[in-house]
Amino acid sequence: MSNVIYLESPTLAVSLSNRGARLVQLLAKRQNLSLLLDTAQVSTELIDRFCIGGTVGPFAGRLRRIDAINGQSAVLLHGNEAALHRADWLLERGSQSNAATYSISRRHGEGGLPGDRDFSVAYTLLENSLMIDLSVTTTHDTPISMTNHAYFTLGATSVSALWLQINAQSVLLTDSEQCATGGSMAVAGTPLDFASERLLSDALMEHPDGLDHSYVLASGGQNALAPDHVASLVNRANGVSLDIATTQPCLQVYTASQLTTPLRPFSAICLEAQGFPNGPNHALGHSESWLAAGQTTTQRIVYRINE
């Protein structure tokens, strides 16, 4: 059962649901402007299918696993049957007006991954920023990659109207199942180059099926208490901008091309700060993708809104 709570700062308001420890809405108070995809009339089934606003894990993105018994290969997407965004989390702390913490556990072998794992996500509003801390502890060495799957609109009706900038020089290459191969491609001078701010409509002219690419960030992962700025999204029509800072090594950019009725394709953009998709299977991202037995890791994402 979904229970919604509300957080406030002087400039922002947030609504959260225990279903998927989900970011339901982010409101810029000065303009009374909703910054995320409106899901008020959307079913839980559809929200779960598209991970809208959810806390994603145990492993975000696609992860190829080999069955130890039959040797068959399978691709897990966002945790498959153990997906955190489809589960009801426990609200651990919610008495503060500007902060809330949710928790959930997965047992050894659930979702085809090892370890008794305890997950938590802490949301904190600080002036014009929403800080999200994603933590996990495990009893066995296990692949870990968590993220928030918000769909940003910044008040626009189409992503084509938004401007994007990313501090990244390459994207991960993928196979026919959209699973990362361990290789990367430089983006300089290509339609995927967002080193300088660009209108998304220009990129979508070259990629009419939409963007769904994992950018290898030029910074990040150094200090959980001081995440690096990695990307900006701007709606010039209303003057609202989003700055993203994170400790994560990758940013998945998805222009929501697969949304279905009552939602519209390309009506929002996901900017998912996460680990390396399929990283446990490749040298690129391998060390960042595993959490050792008995250890705890925390990754931070910060959304800063300017009006």
Domain boundary assignment for the chain = 4-306
Token couple for 23: 């970011």
SS3 146: coil
Q: Is 181 exposed, middle or buried (0-12, 13-18, 19+ CB in 10 A)?
A: middle
Question: Across-strand partners of 118?
Answer: 105, 137
Burial 98-124 (b: 16+ CB within 10 A, else e): bebbbbbebeeebbbbbbbbebbbbbb
- Per-run averaged pLDDT (10 residues), the chain, 307 residues: 88 97 98 97 95 97 72 78 94 86 96 94 96 98 97 98 97 94 96 96 95 88 73 98 97 97 97 96 93 96 97
Q: Could you read off the pLDDT of 18-50 as tens digits, one per residue?
A: 999 999 999 999 999 999 999 999 999 999 999
In 3D, which of 177, 250, 268, 168 has the Cα closest to residue 214?
250
- Reported as a single tens digit per residue, the pLDDT across 96-109 is 899 999 999 999 99
Rounded to whole angstroms, how far apart are CA atoms 165 and 83?
A: 30
The pLDDT of residue 73 is 75
Amino acid, res. 212: D
Q: Tokens 């910074």 sit at which residue? A: 219
Query: Omega before 114 cis (within 30°)?
Result: no
Task: Give kind and range of the element (H or E) at residue 288.
Answer: helix 286-289
Q: Domain 4-306 belongs to what topology?
A: Beta-galactosidase; Chain A, domain 5 (2.70.98)
